[in-house]
Structure 1
Amino acid sequence: MDVEAVRRSFPALASGLARFDGPGGSLVPTPVIEAVAAAMAAGLCQRGSVSAPDRLAEETATGARAAMGRLLGTDPHGIVFGRSMTALTFDFARTISAGWGPGDEVVVTRLDHDANVRPWVTAAERTGATVRWLGFDPVTGELDDVGPLLSERTRLVAVTAASNLLSTRPDIAQVVRATHESGALAYVDAVHLVPHAPVDLAALGADFLACSPYKFFGPHLGVVAASPALLETLRPAKLLPSSDAVPERFELGTLPYELLAGVSAAVAFIEALPGGMAAVEEHEARLLGRLLDGLSGLPGVTVHSRPARRTPTALLTVDGMAPAEVQRALAAEGVVAPAGSFYAVEASRHVGLGDEGGLRAGLAAYTNDADVDRLLAALGSVTLGP
């Protein structure tokens, strides 16, 4: 992948900062910015078939569904848009759990972002269902076997496709197979996977897959993908006059058409990259090797977790320094790498970092070798002195 050509599409890089905050929200390329602005300038109001603005709003919504369908390898009629992945997951948790009661069980993991934990824990508390916790190895970051937690009482397994804190990529297809053998549904958080690797919902087999376009060059939105047939079986609370069609019945209020235009542009940007997401994955894997090799030579630096399959994200701590202190030191050198637990509070506590977490360095398609070297040099100044 020609990373320098990619970088020219991201105006935020003109600041000269080395950016490692992509896991919290990627930078946005010029075509996405222009698509959002153009949609707002077009005067879109409501979807319809009569006036030109009506038709353009309709085309914008259906175009965004088609784009996400291509990106995720699924039926565009099963693409649901919402304010955020968190909001959508709370909505789906309320709807899916409507028939739960005492004796039913839901499985959540210690590895997940809280957006795929708390909605299900809250639903269980409300309905009297039991929560079963799936752990992970705090040293390697590898997820435990879900099998022993499954039974005929299991109603749903909520699991991450990639940890936003520790970078672990569990074998989701295997987890989904075991889940389905127990008769349960699988709700997969792919927010941290979709920006870094090709995703095919059919191959994963998940019943629901959630992601966030603002993690892969798009605007701030959430997406849940599922088969239209499965969505037809769910009856969410909605306004009386709003559409009962799938997927619209899950989308509360008027969609943000300008952001949907940005979603289509973000997917088109990815599709235009030579090699697409496979090339991005290869580029990021090479840079991750460079980063991990460099970190291994810095005294007092600990990289947490070493999973067999991972995203290009490293969580680290520096002996004798609070993560926030390291973040400030790097920022003074023009290196942006945030500190915290990043809402993966269960994972952070499980590896012994408490709610404070660590410093997270995330690579992206626009990261280059010079960025990685700047991060390593800045950390060297922290650990070795000037």
Structure 2
Amino acid sequence: MAFDVERVRAEYPALDEGFVHFDGAAGTLVAEPVARAVASVLRGAVANRTTAFAPGRRALRILADARAAVADLVGADPDGVVFGPSATALTYTVARSLARTWRPGDNVVVSRLDHDANVRPWVQLAGQHGVQVRWAEFDPQTGALPIGQYGELVDDRTRLVAVTAASNAIGTRPDVAAVAATAHAAGALVYVDGVHATPHLPTDVTALGADFYVTSAYKWSGPHIAACAAAPQLWAGTATDKLLPSPDEAPERFELGTPSFEQLAGVTAAVEFLATLDDTAPGTRRERVTASLAAAHRYDTRLFQTLLEGLRSTPGVRILPAPEGGAPTVSFRVAGQHPAETSAALGEKGICVFAGDYYAYEYFQTMGLRDSGGAVRASVYHYTTDDDVTRLLEAVAAQA
């Protein structure tokens, strides 16, 4: 395996501060090449978009490069990549646009396993348009999202199915392709939340069957900006509110206001960096980023198994169940402690973990844990080390 964690860690200057980071599910550290790219735009002559002079042409190139980078990361068409300030904002934009065609008697299907950003926009827009909301339930005993239920939930009045590619709470990776096949057979669109999945394994939106796929760059070593990928013809056939002078063409029609060119440059740099995680990977950037994420995934999986086994063997620790093969993320509680107390105690030791519901609102409501503080979440990323895992396990054991 050509993944060298020490070489990779050297590209994250924030690691020099000495904290142990298991908080990647909430946002990863920024790689040095990304910081340089962002700073370069801020320091350089980059104007708003125009072909009239060089600084304006640079802005056009920065935007085009970022679309191409995201397309290589997720296997999409660059002309179908729309940027926005966050996955939540983009999902609201798409929901408002698609809901224009919904009618009373239609329905949408959402999942209780999802981050609320892929639930509430659809629920709220459905309520505004008199559309029924149908819920896909996860199995509380296993953390799995049973696929068979979609055959009963989806019918010829289903307009959209929203599903996560990986749970940000427990890492579960549903069979999105099977969900999409059921939805498409009924003529429904599929909106996939790829925010937690994209950082941890190669993504192919076509293989997933995603009509829309949203991802956030700050979850994969980039800046705070998000992208939603869809087929250009799908964007072209979707109406949206916009200013009269702004472009009528997609994808620009869905990007409200002037984009952040420095963040877009950071997106391109982040994808370029991800493509170097396996420094022996040959081929196109798409081929290199796919091979690199696969190599990082193998590394993450080994570390995560060590973490899981350690937590399971620690008396007083309760792990929230999840199927094997998910994203390297675990939620747990320490007996007798409020999750926020556990998180703060670990934080005092320089170990960064989050506590709460992490916006997985429906999941924690269903599990009966939200009102009592949710859980503590630890997520492995490709800069995590064996020593990091040991420090976390020792610190949790001291709290249990």
Moved more, 43-52 or 154-163: 43-52
1:259 corresponds to: 263
> What is the aligned partner in structure 2 of residue 66 from structure 1?
68
**After alignment, is 327-336 or 60-69 more displaced?**
327-336
How far the C-alpha of 1:40 sits from its partner, in A, is 0.9
Contact residue 356 and residue 375 of structure 2 kept, 8 A: yes
Deviations 1:261-307 (A, max 9, x none): 00000000001121410011111100010101111110010110121
- Structure 2 residue aligned with 1:94: 96
- Kindly indicate whether the alpha-carbon contact (under 8 Å) linking 1:49 and 1:55 is maintained by their aligned counterparts in 2: yes
For 1:323, which of 320, 339, 349 is the aligned residue? 339
Q: 327, 333, 341: which one pairs with 1:311?
A: 327
Residue correspondence of structure 1 range 349-360 to structure 2 within 5 A: 349-355=365-371, 356-360=373-377
The separation in 1 between residues aligned to 2:366 and 2:302, in whole angstroms, is 29
* Alpha-carbon distance in 2 for matches of 1:173, 1:305: 23
Shift of 1:308: 3.2
Structure 1: give runs of 5+ residues left out of the alignment.
none
Aligned to 2:355: 339
Residue 124 of structure 1 contacts residue 130 of structure 1 at CA under 8 Å; is this kept in 2? Answer: yes
CA drift at 1:349: 1.3
Q: Does 1:150 pair with 2:154?
A: yes
Supply the AA of the counterpart residue of 1:178. Answer: T
Does the 8 A contact of 1:212 with 1:221 survive in 2?
yes
Task: Describe how 1:80-119 pairs up with structure 2 within 5 A.
Answer: 80-119=82-121
Q: Work out the CA distance in 2 between the residues paired with 1:357 and 1:225.
A: 32
Distance 2:74 2:19 in 1: 31
The whole-number CA distance in structure 1 between the counterparts of 2:238 and 2:153 is: 25
Find 1:163's aligned residue among 157, 162, 167.
167
CA contact (8 A) 1:170 1:309 kept: no
User: Could you tell me how far apart the structure 2 residues matched to 1:377 and 1:78 are?
Assistant: 47
**Separation in 1, partners of 2:324, 2:301:** 13
Task: Give the whole-Å Cα distance in 2 for the aligned partners of 1:115 and 1:209.
Answer: 13
Contact 1:158 1:188 survives alignment (8 Å): yes
CA displacement at 1:194 relative to structure 2: 0.2
Q: How does 1:164-183 map to 2 (within 5 A)?
A: 164-183=168-187
| 300-309 or 76-85: bigger deviation | 300-309
Counterpart in 2 of 1:193?
A: 197
Question: Does the 8 A contact of 1:44 with 1:53 survive in 2?
Answer: yes
User: What does 1:2-151 align with in structure 2 at a 5 Å threshold?
Assistant: 2-145=4-147, 146-151=150-155
CA contact (8 A) 1:323 1:340 kept: yes
Query: Secondary structure of 2:299's match?
Result: helix
RMSD of Structure 2 on Structure 1 (CA): 0.8
Deviations 1:311-356 (A, max 9, x none): 0001000111000000111111111111010001101111221242
Q: Secondary structure at the match of 1:342?
A: coil
In 1, Cα distance between equivalents of 2:40 and 2:74: 26
Query: Structure 1 residue 209 and structure 2 residue 213: aligned?
Result: yes
Count, aligned residues: 383
- The letter of the residue matching 1:191 is V
Specify the code of the residue in structure 2 equivalent to 1:142: A
- Structure 2, gaps ≥5 residues long: 279-290
Query: Are residue 368 (structure 1) and residue 385 (structure 2) matched?
Result: yes
**Letter aligned with residue 163 of structure 2:** V
- CA distance in 1 between counterparts of 2:142 and 2:333 reads 16
CA contact (8 A) 1:330 1:378 kept: yes
- Misfit runs of 4+, over 6 Å: none
8 Å Cα contact 2:356-2:370 kept in structure 1: no
Report if aligned partners of 1:142, 1:307 keep a CA contact under 8 Å in 2. yes
Q: Aligned AA for 1:77?
A: D
Report if aligned partners of 1:169, 1:309 keep a CA contact under 8 Å in 2. Answer: yes
Alignment equivalent of 1:286, drawn from 292, 297, 302: 302
Structure 1 residue 246 displacement after superposition: 1.2
For 2:322 and 2:237, the matched residues in 1 are separated by: 40
1:54 offset after TM fit, Å? 0.7
The structural deviation recorded for 1:144 is 2.5
Equivalents in 2 of 1:133, 1:322: separation in Å? Answer: 30
Distance 2:368 2:324 in 1: 21
Cα displacement string for residues 2-51 of structure 1 (whole angstroms, at most 9, x for unaligned residues): 10111111111111111100000000011000000001111322112121
Paired position in structure 1 for 2:364: 348
1:377 matches 2:394: yes
Query: What is the one-letter code of the residue matched to 2:397?
Result: G
SS at match of 1:32: helix
Q: 1:221: Cα distance to partner?
A: 0.7
